[in-house]
Structure 1
Amino acid sequence: MVVKLYGQVTAACPQRVLLCFLEKEIEFEIVHVDLDTLEQKKPEHLLRQPFGQVPAIEDGDFKLFESRAIARYYATKYSNQGTNLLGKSLEHRAIVDQWADVETHYFNVLAFPIVLNLVIKPRLGEECDAVLVEELKAKLGVVLDIYENRLASNRFLAGDEFTMADLTHMPAMGYLMRTDVNQMVKARVNMNRWWEELTARPAWKKLMKMAGFEA
């Protein structure tokens, strides 16, 4: 059965789910929800996602929202198909979960407001909070130093194999790399090597083509 994903392919959270689908070789259909016209806040979409965000999925009678929950669900449901995103042992899975949680609690809380101010607000004709951005960059630098140290002895965040720990970072990283934050990544040899390897993956290239971005 084809999974319906409600969202916008250029938005970071739907991209997280789409990357999972592509890595797991899951058939899907994108039902466009126009964020520019606030379609996500309309009653029809609120029935799928009561907080007025994207994405949400419908898989037959099964419905789910929140991109990280959706990605974990499909990585588990199709564990024997496509890329193994969850880890090969209980201990490995715990490490995958650990770094996926790091993305949520330490990385994304800084990356999202940076992207909001440097990418989204200018596109909407709104003023960027430059002071806030510099404060966020300083905090992000501390986080990136921890990543740099981790990646000095590990090919990927959870070890030698690409997993959900890496995948969940990719949408926000993609947007950060379109800003001057890219210099912070390029200045860190191991992070830069990691990012170049992630963006060389066929799933990422397919997603960027779908979104109309250069991979």
Structure 2
Amino acid sequence: MGIKVHGVPQGGASIRVLAALNEKELDYELLVVDMKSGAHKQQPFLSLNPFGQVPALEDGDIKLFESRAITKYIAYTYENHGTPLIYKQGKEMADLAVWMEVEAHQFDPVVSKLAWELVYKGMFGLQTDEAAVEEHTTKLAKVLDVYEARLSKTKYIAGDAYTLADLNHLPGLKYMMGSKVQHLLDERPHVSAWCKNIMARPASAKVLNMDKQA
């Protein structure tokens, strides 16, 4: 039956799943969900994700939602394909678990709020809340200070190999690039090098450029 991804090529969470599939060198079919018509809030999509959010994945009889859960499934199920993306034991596994949590609970919530203010509000004709931008820019700077210290010791955020902890940052980094908060990356040399490194990976670039190719 093959792997099917129900999502949008430019959508943040979909980027994670598509990049993971590319890193694993797996064939898949992207079924674009018409968000403007509200297809994600209707059947049959709700049978894949009852919360009505993209992406969702089908792999034979397996049906999954939540992008980080999907990337874990891809990494473990297809561990012998492409880039490993995970550590399976010891301190390396523990570090991976820690930094995956950091991305989900420290980095992404702040970047998502900035993306709403700096990207999505304009798309909906809404006014940017400059006070909110300032507040979340300050918060993100503190998070990236921690990243800078970490990346001064390791090539990637969870160690010396590229893993899901790095890959899961791709949507947030995409939002930051070219925005008024890109300077937060540029001002931190280790963060800047890490960002450029992971975004330039062929598997990442293929996904990040999808909307430009449409």
Q: Following the alignment from structure 1 to structure 2, what is the Cα–Cα distance between the partners of residues 205 and 108?
A: 20
Question: For 1:127, what is the secondary structure of its paired residue?
Answer: coil
Given that residues 17 and 67 in structure 2 are in contact (C-alpha distance below 8 angstroms), is that contact kept between their aligned partners in structure 1? yes
Q: Tell me the equivalent position of 2:111.
A: 111
Compared CA separation, residues 139 and 78, structure 1 to 2 (3 A):
same
**Structure 2 residue 202 is matched with structure 1 residue 202:** yes
Secondary structure of 1:31 counterpart: strand
Question: CA offset at residue 185 of structure 1?
Answer: 0.6
1:200 corresponds to which letter in structure 2? A
2:57 counterpart letter in structure 1: I
For structure 2, the 5+ residue unaligned runs are none
Runs of 4+ with deviation above 3 angstroms: none
The one-letter amino acid paired with 1:190 is: H
Provide the residue aligned with 1:13 in structure 2.
13
Gaps of 5+ in 1: none
For each residue in 1:46-104, what CA deviation from the matched residue of structure 2 results, as whole angstroms up to 9, or x when unmatched?
11111110001111111010000000011000111100101253321221111011000
Residue 158 of structure 2 corresponds to 158
**TM-score computed with the length of structure 2 as normaliser:** 0.95
| Structure 1 counterpart of 2:184, one-letter code | M
Distance in 2 (alpha carbons) for counterparts of 1:164 and 1:46: 27
Post-superposition offset of 1:37: 2.8
1:59 maps to amino acid? D
Distance 2:196 2:2 in 1: 31
Contact 2:13/2:171, CA 8 A, preserved across alignment: yes
Establish whether residue 128 from structure 1 lines up as the match of residue 128 from structure 2.
Answer: yes
Q: Deviations over 1:133-161 (max 9, x none)?
A: 11011111100000000001111011111
Deviation at 1:124, TM superposition (A): 1.7
How much does 1:211 deviate? 2.5
Q: Which residue of 2 aligns with 1:79?
A: 79
Q: Does 1:100 align with 2:100?
A: yes
* Structure 1 counterpart of 2:93, one-letter code: R
Q: Say whether 1:30 aligns with 2:30.
A: yes
Using CA pairs under 8 Å that are at least 6 residues apart, name the structure with larger relative contact order, 1 or 2.
2
Say whether the 8 Å CA contact 2:15–2:208 is kept in structure 1: no
My pick for the range that moved more, 140-149 or 120-129, is 120-129
CA distance in 2 between counterparts of 1:41 and 1:142 reads 36
Aligned pair count? 213
Q: Does 1:56 align with 2:56?
A: yes
**Residue 140 (structure 2) pairs with residue 145 (structure 1):** no
Name the residue aligned to 2:40: 40
Query: Which amino acid letter does the alignment assign opposite residue 208 of structure 1?
Result: L
Distance 1:184 1:166 in 2: 17
Distance in 1 (alpha carbons) for counterparts of 2:70 and 2:90: 21
- More displaced 10-residue stretch of structure 1: 122-131 or 162-171: 122-131
